[in-house]
Amino acid sequence: MHAGALAPLIDELATKFRVTSIDLPGHGLNLASVWPEEIEALARELLAAAPSHATWLGWSLGGLASIAAARLARDRVDRLVLLASTPRFTAAGDWPGAMPRAELDAFARRLDRNPARALSRFDALLFKGSANAASGLRRLHELLGGVRANTSALQGGLRMLIEADERAGLAAFGKPVGVVWGDGDPLIPVSCAHDLARLAPRMRIVGGVGAGHAPFILDAGTVADALWMLIAE
């Protein structure tokens, strides 16, 4: 999704911060850009567009890319805040709380067969468990304005989500890190918090901020309050 999906949260944050929002390659204003093969290349594109010093806030795949940027250019990233994100999205023997690889592979096959249908299912999944799921879905579509990522970027982004592992980079970052989660997020199980706490004991984790994988769509104020608190700390 392009940065328009984050507009409610950007409006809240802009009352206290200068906010720079970046569309990933193949998304939004960068629709014609080619999705990079490696996460390091994606991180370099973000670094080229970002301010020289900033707090980096990454939602979902954006959080993974933000960790990679911090790994490549630690002096450019003052602090990291992961919003419904984790350094590794697929489960492993030493990372049991994440999603099973088989589930993500199945979604990748559905995306290859029928991108439009797969996107519709994913949009609905964002609000799974929320009492206002229908309202959230309508608001998301309003924010996106009918503009979706190109198919190659969707496929490449999902592949990166499945394969990337930025745990070592996050553990070695050595600067403030905050994590914000919504209740009942179907893509980031709450058990991931325990894995993260072991990875970086000084990390600040705030849960129960809104619901689902995109809590800022309908509750941007609550999410912004959590982010302000983390950055102040």
CATH of the domain at 46: 3.40.50.1820
Residue 212 and residue 130 in contact, taking contact as beta carbons nearer than 8 Å? yes
Burial class (CB in 10 A: 0-12, 13-18, 19+), 188: buried
Over residues 135-194, the pLDDT tens digits come to 999 999 999 999 999 999 999 999 999 999 999 999 999 999 999 988 888 888 878 888
pLDDT tens readout for residues 191-233: 888 888 888 878 899 988 888 899 999 899 999 999 999 988 8
Beta-strand (E) ranges in 15-164? 54-59, 77-83
Instruction: Say whether 213 is catalytic.
Output: yes
pTM: 0.95
Please indicate whether residue 185 is annotated as part of the active site.
yes
Q: Report how many domains make up the chain.
A: 1
Residue 89 belongs to what domain range? 3-232
* Options 23, 185, 195, 219, the catalytic residue: 185
| Given 2, 27, 85, 213, the catalytic residue | 213
Q: Which of 60, 66, 85, 130 is catalytic?
A: 60
Confirm whether 53 is a catalytic residue: no
